[in-house]
Amino acid sequence: MADKPNIRYGNYEDHASRFVPGEAWVLASDGTWNRADSYIHSESAVELSKADWEKVFPNTPPLPPEAFKR
């Protein structure tokens, strides 16, 4: 069984994001998580600490079940 990836926190164009190398999810304005192109995400996202991410993006919904299931 593979180790669970260390899912990081980000700000992608003023939207909450969660990411690992090769996979990124961005929270849309309508409150849904959408898978994003990880290459484009990595070029524009700013990584945040979990504490800072929670301050900037409070009350975010949980990621969808299919997120980070590699």
Three-state SS letters, 11-58: EECCEEEEEECCEEEEECCCCCEEEECHHHHHHHCEEECHHHHHHHCC
User: Do the domain assignments include residue 31?
Assistant: yes
**How far is 70 from 62, CA to CA, in rounded Å?**
18
Q: What is the pLDDT of residue 32?
A: 97
Q: What is the pLDDT of residue 3?
A: 66
Q: Which domain holds residue 16?
A: 8-56
**Which residues in the chain land under pLDDT 50?**
1
Residue type, 17: S
Q: Which among 21, 33, 22, 35 is positioned nearest to 57, based on CA atoms? A: 33
- Tell me how many domains the chain contains: 1
User: Do the domain assignments include residue 21?
Assistant: yes
- The reply to whether the predicted model has a pTM over 0.85 is yes
Q: How far is CA 47 from the centre of its chain?
A: 10
Q: What is the pLDDT of residue 2?
A: 58
User: Do the domain assignments include residue 68?
Assistant: no
